């Protein structure tokens, strides 16, 4: 029986699909050896071996899919380092570079709901492969893969030890541990039933108060995405702590399903996305660690990011949405930090990969060094830059891909000149359509490449302004 390869499409970070519908053992077994071959063409001369890392998260049957990947890759003549257990995706990216492998094939669907699984492809350099590599994998899907006469070998490895040791060297780990162990700072973690479980405890000790660390492939019926609607338990736990300890510093850290995205909750129970965390991290790393280099932001990133960068004399480079574009830039120029609004942040002194555990360590270091609650830190930056704003986004399901095509044609042929009663002063099209409005707010309209979904992003002076603009955009799309 032939395998329908039309359902294998690589998006901004890997191929994802519904388990047993698009994402099947047969398709995984087809893709894996082709991905290994393309990794070999691309990075073989650089590393001088035929070793591929295989990792997985905690989703339904992830271990089984990883074994299918392993068997198929070994039969194609590659050696495999197969993880002994689940781990964060960045741990496998770290292993690819640290172990001098061709790259890593990771079974994960990141922040998607529980019915999804997926495959991320990482390069020998320790980050997501560029689009031309995934396009080459897709192009080869209909061709016969030649099998080497000699199968490869499988070796098991622990992905956590070397990764954690590497992360601990990036911060003043003893200062953080002391603050936590003495009660100066209370750290809560919502693992969202994902691959971060136990990770921060490994790094700073067992005083970390972790919730949702058990394996739940259904993610309580939601998704392992660091958004307020999924964090009711964390809010409740932190509220109880705040009531009993009104004067102590506390923070909640939230990791997505494969631990490459982060969000936070400050001591007063306010949700802080990476739109808030990135400006704080830029300030901390430049001011206290004297880090230098370019700041990379996606087009959907907050305007506060370039304002804080400008305050410190740092240049800013803007990319389309998708961490692979940030990673490409990180390989070209000295970078302090690269981040996206959805929670992925990476650092020039690390692999070119978003890494939520390293971000967590830097956030904790910023709190300990400044003595400030994260919310206070953010307000301080707003005052210093003279810029304050609110931000939100909505993902709007469309009736069909035909509706998507009509909306896209309308944007191309009848450009918007006014939005929510405000004149459009500029339109940026490096990824979707980002409309700058007369009051310096902005609305971004971006289409999913693989499904009938419209993504709407807005930053404005107040949350009421944000929601008014998003509602206008929603009505425009639905009419």
pLDDT at site 31: 97
Q: Tell which of 347, 369, 385 closes a domain.
A: 385
User: pLDDT-derived band of residue 145, with 50, 70 and 90 as boundaries?
Assistant: low
Share of the chain above pLDDT 70, in %: 98
| pLDDT(147) > 70 | no
Q: Can you list the alpha helix ranges (DSSP code H) found in 298-416?
A: 304-311, 323-330, 356-370, 374-385, 401-413
Structure confidence at residue 13 as a pLDDT band (50, 70, 90): confident
Total domains in the fold of the chain: 3
Q: 192 and 335: one domain?
A: yes
> Does one domain contain both 342 and 278?
yes
Q: Is 164 inside a domain boundary?
A: no
Range of the domain at 418: 390-478
Given a cut of 80, whether residue 466 has pLDDT beyond it is yes
Give residue 449's pLDDT: 66
Sign of the torsion formed by the C-alpha atoms of 170, 174, 177 and 182: negative
d(CA 346, CA 338): 5
Contact 281, 263 (CB under 8 A): no
Is residue 102 in a domain?
yes
Q: Are residues 231 and 294 in the same domain?
A: yes
Question: Of 359, 385, 411, which marks where a domain is finished?
Answer: 385
* Average pLDDT taken over every residue of the chain: 95
> 265 has which bridge partners?
252, 271
Q: Are 432 and 479 in contact (CB under 8 A)?
A: no
**36 and 93 housed in the same domain:** yes
CATH code at position 438? 3.30.310.50
Residues 124 and 174 in one domain: no
Structure confidence at residue 3 (pLDDT): 85
Q: 379-383: long-range contacts (C-beta < 8 A, 24 or more apart)? A: 381/279, 381/280, 381/283, 381/304, 381/308, 382/304
> Is the domain of 299 the same as that of 395?
no
Cβ(209)–Cβ(237) below 8 Å? yes
11/6 Cα distance (integer angstroms): 14
Average pLDDT rounded to a whole number, residues 421-447: 96
Does residue 316 share a domain with residue 185?
yes
Q: Which residue has the higher pLDDT, 325 or 55?
A: 55
State which of 368, 385, 402 marks the end of a domain.
385
Average pLDDT over residues 163-176: 97
Q: Is the dihedral of CA 155, 159, 161, 166 positive or negative?
A: positive
Q: Is 303 helix (H, G, I), strand (E, B) or coil?
A: coil
Statement: residue 334 has pLDDT above 60: yes
pLDDT band at 457 (very low <50, low <70, confident <90, very high): very high
Do 329 and 411 reside in the same domain of the chain?
Answer: no
* Assigned domain for 435 exists: yes
CA angle 317, 320, 323 (to 5 degrees): 90
Q: Write out pLDDT tens, residues 275-294.
A: 999 999 999 999 999 999 99
pTM recorded for the entire structure: 0.95
Q: For the chain, what is the largest distance between any 2 Cα atoms, rounded to a whole number of angstroms?
A: 68
On whether residue 133 sits in a domain, the answer given is: yes
Residue whose tokens read 């970070």: 13
Lowest mean pLDDT among 3-17, 24-38, 333-347: 3-17
pLDDT score at 146 = 66
- Is the pLDDT at 11 greater than 90? The verdict is no
- Residue 377 pLDDT > 70: yes
Q: Say if residue 231 is in the same domain as residue 322.
A: yes
How far CA 75 is from CA of 71, 79, 294, in Å, comes to 6, 9, 43
Does residue 35 contact residue 105 with C-beta atoms inside 8 Å? yes
Domain assignment of residue 139, yes or no: yes
CB 207 within 8 A of CB 234: no
- Give Cα separations from 367 to 2, 99, 165, 226, 466 (angstroms): 56, 33, 22, 20, 29
CA 400 centroid distance within chain = 27
The span from the CA of 73 to the CA of 53, in Å, is 10
Name the band, by pLDDT with cuts 50, 70 and 90, for residue 185.
Answer: very high
Residue 201 resides in a domain = yes
**Residue 336's CATH number:** 3.40.120.10
Closest-CA residue to 82 (of 29, 159, 148): 159
Give yes or no: residues 326 and 185 share one domain: yes
DSSP 401-455: HHHHHHHHHHHHHS---EETTEEEEEEE-SSSEEEEETTS-EEEEEE-SSSSEEE
pLDDT > 90: what percent of the chain? 89
Are 447 and 461 members of one domain? Answer: yes
276, part of any domain:
yes
Instruction: Identify the pLDDT of residue 2.
Output: 76
Q: How far apart are CA 149 and CA 147, in angstroms?
A: 6
Alpha helix ranges (H) inside 169-209:
173-181, 199-204
Based on its alpha-carbon atoms, the radius of gyration of the chain, rounded to whole angstroms, reads 22
Strand order across the beta sheet in which 433-437 lies: 390-397, 453-460, 442-447, 433-437, 422-428, 418-419
- The total number of residues shown for the chain amounts to 479
Looking at residues 224-229, what average pLDDT do you find?
95
- Which pLDDT band holds residue 324 (cuts at 50, 70, 90)? confident
Examine residue 163 and state whether it is found in any structural domain, yes or no.
Answer: no
What is the average pLDDT across 327-343?
Answer: 93
Whether the CB-CB separation of 96 and 122 falls below 8 Å is answered with yes
Is pLDDT above 60 for 300?
yes
Q: Token digits for 341?
A: 């609004």
Claim to verify: residue 366 and residue 396 sit in the same structural domain: no
């Amino acid at each position: 029986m032939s395998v329908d390869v039309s359902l294998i499409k690589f998006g901004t970070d890997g191929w994802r699909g519904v388990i047993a519908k698009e994402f099947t053992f047969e398709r995984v077994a087809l893709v894996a050896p082709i991905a290994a071959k393309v990794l070999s063409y691309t990075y073989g001369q650089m590393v001088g071996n035929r070793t591929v890392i295989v990792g997985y998260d905690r989703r339904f049957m992830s271990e089984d899919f990883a074994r299918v990947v392993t068997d198929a890759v070994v039969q194609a003549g590659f050696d495999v380092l197969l993880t002994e257990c689940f781990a964060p995706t960045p741990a496998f990216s770290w292993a690819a570079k640290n172990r001098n492998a061709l790259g890593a094939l990771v079974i994960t669907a990141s922040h998607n709901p529980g019915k999804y699984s997926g495959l991320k492809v990482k390069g020998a350099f320790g980050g997501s492969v560029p689009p031309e590599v995934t396009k080459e994998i897709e192009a080869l899907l209909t061709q016969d893969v030649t099998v080497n006469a000699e199968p490869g070998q499988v070796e098991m490895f622990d992905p956590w030890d070397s990764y954690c040791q590497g992360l601990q060297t990036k911060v003043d780990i003893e200062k953080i541990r002391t603050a936590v162990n003495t009660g100066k700072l209370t750290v809560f973690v919502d693992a969202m039933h994902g691959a971060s479980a136990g990770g921060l405890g490994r790094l700073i000790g067992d005083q970390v108060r972790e919730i949702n660390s058990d394996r739940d492939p259904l993610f309580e019926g939601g998704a392992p995405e660091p958004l307020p609607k999924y964090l009711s338990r964390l809010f409740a736990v932190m509220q109880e702590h705040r009531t009993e300890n009104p004067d102590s510093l506390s923070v909640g850290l939230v990791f997505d399903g494969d631990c490459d995205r982060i969000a936070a909750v400050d001591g007063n129970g306010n949700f802080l996305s990476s739109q808030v965390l990135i400006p704080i991290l830029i300030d901390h790393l430049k001011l206290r660690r004297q880090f230098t280099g370019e700041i990379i932001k996606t087009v959907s990133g907050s305007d506060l990011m370039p304002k804080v960068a400008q305050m410190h004399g740092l240049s800013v480079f803007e990319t389309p949405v998708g961490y692979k574009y940030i990673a490409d830039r990180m390989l070209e120029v000295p970078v302090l930090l690269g981040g996206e609004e959805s929670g992925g942040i990476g650092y020039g002194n690390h692999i070119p990969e978003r890494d939520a555990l390293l971000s967590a360590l830097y956030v904790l270091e910023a709190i300990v060094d400044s003595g400030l609650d994260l919310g206070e830190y953010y307000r301080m930056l707003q005052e210093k830059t003279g810029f304050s704003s609110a931000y939100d986004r909505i993902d709007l399901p469309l009736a069909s891909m035909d509706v998507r095509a009509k909306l896209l044609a309308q944007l191309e042929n009848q450009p918007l000149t006014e939005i929510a009663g405000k004149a459009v002063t500029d339109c940026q099209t490096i990824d979707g359509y980002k409309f700058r409005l007369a009051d310096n707010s902005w609305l971004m309209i971006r289409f999913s490449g693989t499904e009938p979904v419209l993504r709407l992003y807005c930053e404005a002076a107040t949350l009421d302004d944000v929601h008014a603009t998003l509602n206008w955009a929603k009505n425009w799309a639905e009419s």
